[in-house]
């Protein structure tokens, strides 16, 4: 999405020359993209001359903000602009509003889509491939977010200058509303930009953890193979095998093949035993996660119930463990007594 930076309003030939940014909404049925437009205008007294510049090619130009202002003027009702300054303010307000809607949908919404794709990735999916795809999307989206930021700052400067030149209570009310919405959009843009970097950091950390786990698993399996090979080497060295059979054996031409097969079987069994007893644990399944969640939730419910009924407070508390009462300090022999207070 290309974004144009407009010039601030200036006084030219006794009038006000300014630019407003907007979008020409494409036809979804025809698979058309939204095209940025620049509305250049010159206002003098009660006259307004405009020129529409389209930053692209489209079969139909559909600038909804301008269309809405034209409908307001043709309606001639109580909501119709009363002065040329109000017309300019309505144009700026409607164009800015549609810009914000499209940016929230196509730029800010794309950040949500990336986050949803990353969160809902498959467990056994290749993270290197996902990292390449997400990095491409994040780079493209970060560029668009920066362009949106430049456009918002340019709009803020334009609205500030229009507030200096245009008059009228309704005009200033509309322009102040645009200024407030623009600042809110700038804050949203900064939040989206921060989220993109956060997603990228989390993604890189996940890829590093995945690669580290994969490397650990390979190293662990190689260690098991090496340990089994060491045991077989010790056995072979103890027996001193050679091509003529086991030393001390006579007329045994198949001793070498038999001993080699026996070593192979022993090595295979050692590898299986090593992987079963010393191998890494299997990944946690979804069923185990759900069972553990239920156990933790049950633990929290029990703790909450005991806290509400003060069960833990009453449990295991003896009278001898508490501080002495006033009655305990008067008599320690257990005799009963009656305290009579004088009448006042």
Q: Which of 86 and 32 is assigned the larger pLDDT? A: 86
Band (pLDDT 50/70/90 cuts) for residue 177 is very high
- In the predicted structure, residue 302 carries a pLDDT above the cut 70: yes
- In the predicted structure, residue 196 carries a pLDDT above the cut 70: yes
pLDDT at 344: 46
Q: Average pLDDT for residues 14-30, to the nearest whole number?
A: 77
For domain 10-213, the question of CATH label 3.30.420.10 is answered with: no
Highest mean pLDDT among 33-37, 240-244, 302-306, 307-311: 302-306
- In the predicted structure, residue 108 carries a pLDDT above the cut 60: yes
pLDDT at 305: 80
What is this structure's pTM?
0.62
pLDDT, tens digit, for every residue of 319-329? 555 555 555 55
Query: What is the percent of the chain with per-residue pLDDT over 90, rounded to a whole number?
Result: 4
13-17, 71-75, 193-197, 235-239, range with the lowest pLDDT: 235-239
Q: Average pLDDT for residues 29-53, to the nearest whole number?
A: 79
pLDDT, tens digit, for every residue of 218-277? 887 788 778 878 877 877 776 665 545 455 556 666 766 777 787 788 888 877 777 777
Distance CA 59, CA 26 (A): 9
Of 96, 111, 78, nearest in space to 39 by CA: 96
Which tokens is 4 given? 């144009």
Query: What is the percent of the chain with per-residue pLDDT over 70, rounded to a whole number?
Result: 76
- In the predicted structure, residue 301 carries a pLDDT above the cut 80: yes
Distance CA 37, CA 56 (A): 8
Tell me where in the chain the CATH 1.20.58.340 domain(s) lie: 10-213
Distance CA 288, CA 303 (A): 23
């Amino acid at each position: 999405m290309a974004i144009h930076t407009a010039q601030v309003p200036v006084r030219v030939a006794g009038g006000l020359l300014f630019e407003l940014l907007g979008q020409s909404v494409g036809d979804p049925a025809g698979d058309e993209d939204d095209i940025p437009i620049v509305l250049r205008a010159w206002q003098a007294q009660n006259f307004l001359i405009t020129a529409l510049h389209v930053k692209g090619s489209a079969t139909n130009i559909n600038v909804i903000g301008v269309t809405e202002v034209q409908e307001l003027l043709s309606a001639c009702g109580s909501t119709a602009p009363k002065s040329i300054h109000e017309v300019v303010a309505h144009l700026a307000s409607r164009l800015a509003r549609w810009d914000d809607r499209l940016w929230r949908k196509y730029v800010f919404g794309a950040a949500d889509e990336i986050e949803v794709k990353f969160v809902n990735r498959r467990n056994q999916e290749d993270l290197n491939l996902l990292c390449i795809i997400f990095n491409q999307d994040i780079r493209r989206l970060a560029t668009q977010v920066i362009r949106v930021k430049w456009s918002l700052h340019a709009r803020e400067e334009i609205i500030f200058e229009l507030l200096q030149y245009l008059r009228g209570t309704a005009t200033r009310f509309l322009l102040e509303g645009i200024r407030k919405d623009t600042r809110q959009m700038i804050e949203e843009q900064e939040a989206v930009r921060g989220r993109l970097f956060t997603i990228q950091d989390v993604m890189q950390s996940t890829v590093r953890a995945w690669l580290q786990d994969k490397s650990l698993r390979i190293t662990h399996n190689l260690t098991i193979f090496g340990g089994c090979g060491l045991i077989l080497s010790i056995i072979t060295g103890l027996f001193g095998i050679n091509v003529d059979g086991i030393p001390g054996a006579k007329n045994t031409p198949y001793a070498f093949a038999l001993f080699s097969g026996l070593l192979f079987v022993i090595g295979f069994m050692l590898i299986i035993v090593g992987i079963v007893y010393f191998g890494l644990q299997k990944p946690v399944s979804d069923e185990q996660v759900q069972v553990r969640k239920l156990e933790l939730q049950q633990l929290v419910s029990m703790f909450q119930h005991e806290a509400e009924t003060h069960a833990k407070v009453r449990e295991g508390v003896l009278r001898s463990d508490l501080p002495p009462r006033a009655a305990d300090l008067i008599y320690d022999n257990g005799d009963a007594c009656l305290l009579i207070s004088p009448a006042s």
